[in-house]
Amino acid sequence: METVVSGIRPTGNLHLGNYFGALKNFLKMQQEHHCFFFVADYHSLTTHPTPFDLHKNIKQVLVEYLACGLDPEKATIYIQSDVPETTELYLLLNMNAYMGELERCTSFKEKIKTQQNNVNAGLLTYPVLMAADVLLHRATKVPVGKDQEQHLEMMRTFANRFNRIYNVEYFPEPHAFNFGEALVKIPGLDGSTKMSKSENENSAIFLADEPAAIRKKVMRALTDEGPKTPNEKKPQAIENIFNLMSALSSKETYDHFNELYNTCQIRYGDMKKQLAEDAIKFTEPFRARISELMSDKEYLHKVVRMGAEKARESAGKTVREVREIIGFKSF
Ligand code: TRP
């Protein structure tokens, strides 16, 4: 059994790509490992959200993850800012994080280009805060995508450097958590190979989308005039619609439209109608649970309190031990 930590940025609604990607992994991990999943709200302050948006987005991700089956009885689910030990470890780790290495970080270099008038110190030390998140629980596994590889490398650097400076073997090295089986990759409705909301809101189907919104988006999905010869190779946009169908519809449905494609009889309007109905059916239980949880203040309060308590127990122990190692001794 490994200790697993992952942070979830509160950046709005989850879509099917998130569900079939990170979320399904989390659901599996919580059964098998000692997991901490937290809403990374301190991290989100680098972009200066309004208090209203900040709270709304934190609640939204929390509710949606719970609606998808993240289980507070199995995993420790908490809000980062409820665990102030995070900030103490962050401060302590900052002393051993060098300007040069932080400035060389790819995500920092990108950020100073995209938010030129807000190049704050939080952006520079973002990887230190991430390291604090993970080292706080002395975790060994971090389920993140390729884009976080460099941040993971930096966590290992900070962990090893701490151990070396104080001549201890305190922090284990955290590594990326990769599942053996290939992830189901969900394409976008706009011809892109990966469902993403940052490029184009209409390319993603959100778990909280109303049926009418799903129908509208699916019917607008990119297609073409159809195949001219039997068994033609599918262009990307068409391949995407079929891939979505294979994730959301029954095998019979998929085979039916595939056969129509291969015999040049396909009518994309019909296929998209079917896909929209299947997407509605697939997301229905999530949508219902999301709206239920959204108004269940008492339950959310309980979940968040319980998570904070469990996380602080683990974090408190680490920070006490780290203070001792550093030389903050009690009189
Ligand atoms: N930076 C991560 C992201 O952009 C979120 C995150 C913050 C995180 N702290 C973490 C992920 C700790 C894993 C572990 O998605």
Atom of ligand 1 nearest to the CA of 129: 9
Is 197 tagged catalytic? yes
- Rounded Cα–Cα distance for residues 202 and 129 (Å): 33
Is the pLDDT at 12 greater than 70, yes or no? Answer: yes
Q: Is 134 near ligand 1, meaning CB less than 6 Å away? A: yes
Is the pLDDT at 179 greater than 90, yes or no? Answer: no
- Rounded Cα–Cα distance for residues 304 and 99 (Å): 35
Q: Identify which of 89, 130, 198 to mutate to test ligand 1's pocket (most ligand atoms within 8 A of the CB).
A: 130
Is 194 tagged catalytic? yes
CATH 1.10.30.50: does it fit domain 201-291?
no
Is the pLDDT at 182 greater than 80, yes or no? Answer: no
Do residues 58 and 15 make contact, with C-beta atoms less than 8 angstroms apart?
no
| Residue 146 pLDDT grade (very low, low, confident, very high; cuts 50, 70, 90) | confident
Atom of ligand 1 nearest to the CA of 133: 12
Q: Is 41 near ligand 1, meaning CB less than 6 Å away? A: no
Atom of ligand 1 nearest to the CA of 151: 1
Q: How far is CA 87 from CA 2, 80, 131, 141, 320, in A?
A: 24, 9, 11, 21, 13
Which tens digits make up the pLDDT trace of 249-260? 999 999 999 999
Q: Is 128 near ligand 1, meaning CB less than 6 Å away? A: no
Which tens digits make up the pLDDT trace of 284-318? 999 999 999 999 999 999 999 999 999 999 999 99
Among the CATH numbers 3.20.20.140, 3.40.50.2020, 3.40.50.620, 1.10.4030.10, which is that of 3-184+297-326?
A: 3.40.50.620
Angle (CA) 20 26 30, round 5°:
145
| Residue 141 pLDDT grade (very low, low, confident, very high; cuts 50, 70, 90) | very high
Provide mean pLDDT across the span 73-97: 98
Distance 202 CA to ligand 1 centre (A): 26
Residue ranges of the domains in the chain? 3-184+297-326, 201-291
Is the pLDDT at 204 greater than 70, yes or no? Answer: yes
| pLDDT for 292 | 97
User: What whole-number percentage of the chain has pLDDT above 90?
Assistant: 87
- DSSP for 35-48 reads EEEEE-HHHHGGG-
pTM of the entire predicted model: 0.91
| pLDDT for 75 | 98
Q: Is 133 near ligand 1, meaning CB less than 6 Å away? A: yes
> If you search the block for the tokens 């994730």, which residue do you land on?
247
Is 302 tagged catalytic? no
Which of residues 308 and 330 earns the better pLDDT score? 308
Q: Is 5 near ligand 1, meaning CB less than 6 Å away? A: yes
Q: Is 174 near ligand 1, meaning CB less than 6 Å away? A: no
Distance 151 CA to ligand 1 centre (A): 9
| Residue 331 pLDDT grade (very low, low, confident, very high; cuts 50, 70, 90) | confident
Is the pLDDT at 109 greater than 80, yes or no? Answer: yes
| Residue 183 pLDDT grade (very low, low, confident, very high; cuts 50, 70, 90) | low
